[in-house]
Structure 1
Amino acid sequence: MELIVSDLACARGGLPVLEGVSFTLGAGQALILRGPNGIGKTTLLRTLAGLQPPLKGNMTMPPEAMAYAAHADGLKATLSVRENLSFWARIYGTNAVDTALATMNLSDLAGRQARNLSAGQKRRLGLARLLVTGRPIWVLDEPTVSLDAASVALFAGVIRAHLAQGGAALIATHIDLGLPEAGVLDLGAFKARSPAAGGISSAFDEAFA
């Protein structure tokens, strides 16, 4: 099980932001994306998740191997915590709802509607979806947003358990998740050359994650 990225270039708003991105992520490995705001971390993850096409380059992985968690929690507000997870479990053909509830400390909230959760509880529920996908490669964009210190530690433990079971994780985060074995990929080394014309300033980049 590997995610192999070779000479990848991607764009935001029609303008190249990254070029020449190459790395391999194997079973049991984690890779942390670093770089200043606007460098293209979210753009890269969206490209890898298939939400936008690359400008060039290749990415290969086993079919249906990736689960993507973005900034939005993607919850159905009128469904309960359990119903939200059950919906995604049916989509992915798994039977791991109770495990996900327990792992993300949501069992006591299973019957509560998602709209009545706190921001941190919603985030934990959004991340619990990863556990019902059954997919080995997790691609995570700032997964700890809205989480308190205890929940960050909880989720870091979830990632470590995923890696120990042969999974892999690609994570854009500014938080230390306590993963000493994780590699670091600084996207500053892959910043695309600025357009020769057009007068677009660096402020344009800073408006996007």
Structure 2
Amino acid sequence: MHMTVTDLACARGSLQVLAGVSFPLSPGQALILRGPNGSGKTTLLRTLAGLTPPLSGKIVAEPDAIAYAGHADGLKAQLSVAENLRFWAGIFGGSGIDDAVSAFDLAELLDRPAGELSAGQKRRLSLARLLVTGRAIWCLDEPTVSLDASNVARFAAAVGAHLAGGGSAIIATHIDLGLPQADILDISPFVAKSLPVSDPFSDEAFA
């Protein structure tokens, strides 16, 4: 599923942080966002996902094509791992959770409440939700936080399988995930002078 971004301007809170962002994204492609801390990678991902309105420019993608995973794990602590996955599968109309469980090695944790998981286990569960959304474009903000080396590799394999199936991904990360289909987008040239805009926007962990 294709996405085209043209001359996009984005705001963080009450300040404009990016201007003139343009790129295409094709099925099977990963785009790795690079840039200094605070340069606007998170803001760009949230704008692409529809969580923050763009100031100007155009995002062309199919409706309901995008799944976003941010810094917060966004889990329901009182629900088990399996219940969390089934909840999100139900929200997005997914057909089951088996692939997500397998991809992120969650089988032994299915009955455990999410609130009792370690930080790394919570991150694996949070990322596993992507597989139950059925959405073609993944927007991921520092997805490997709290993951050890083996689980970074597990995550990279899940992204690789998503790309091989015709999906695509936009990922803010400083880690080399070893994805042969990945291109780099340095957002530094698009950083705008901090111009005030009207309304601050809310924060979401996952959409």
Structure 1 portions without partners, runs of 5+: 197-209
Structure 2 portions without partners, runs of 5+: 197-207
| Alignment TM-score, normalising by the size of structure 2 | 0.92
The aligned amino acid for 1:51 is L
Which structure is larger by alpha-carbon Rg, 1 or 2?
Answer: 1
Distance 1:191 1:75 in 2: 32
- In structure 2, the residue matched to 1:88 is 88
Runs of 4+ in 1 over 4 A off after TM superposition: none
Distance 2:160 2:64 in 1: 22
Contact 1:137 1:167 survives alignment (8 Å): yes
Distance 1:195 1:160 in 2: 38
Distance 1:162 1:194 in 2: 36
- In structure 2, the residue matched to 1:46 is 46
Q: Aligned with 1:193: secondary structure? A: strand
Q: How many residues align?
A: 196
- In structure 1, the residue matched to 2:7 is 7
Distance 1:83 1:13 in 2: 34
Distance 1:143 1:194 in 2: 27
Distance 2:64 2:98 in 1: 23
- In structure 2, the residue matched to 1:71 is 71
Trace 1:87-106 onto structure 2 (pairs within 5 A): 87-106=87-106
The aligned amino acid for 2:193 is R
- In structure 2, the residue matched to 1:156 is 156
| Alignment TM-score, normalising by the size of structure 1 | 0.91
Distance 1:124 1:72 in 2: 12
Q: CA deviation at 1:194?
A: 4.6
Q: CA deviation at 1:63?
A: 1.2
The aligned amino acid for 1:6 is T
Q: CA deviation at 1:16?
A: 1.2
Contact 2:28 2:181 survives alignment (8 Å): no
Q: Does 1:138 align with 2:147?
A: no
- Identify if the C-alpha distance between structure 1 residues 189 and 112 changes in structure 2 by more than 3 Å, giving closer, same or farther: same
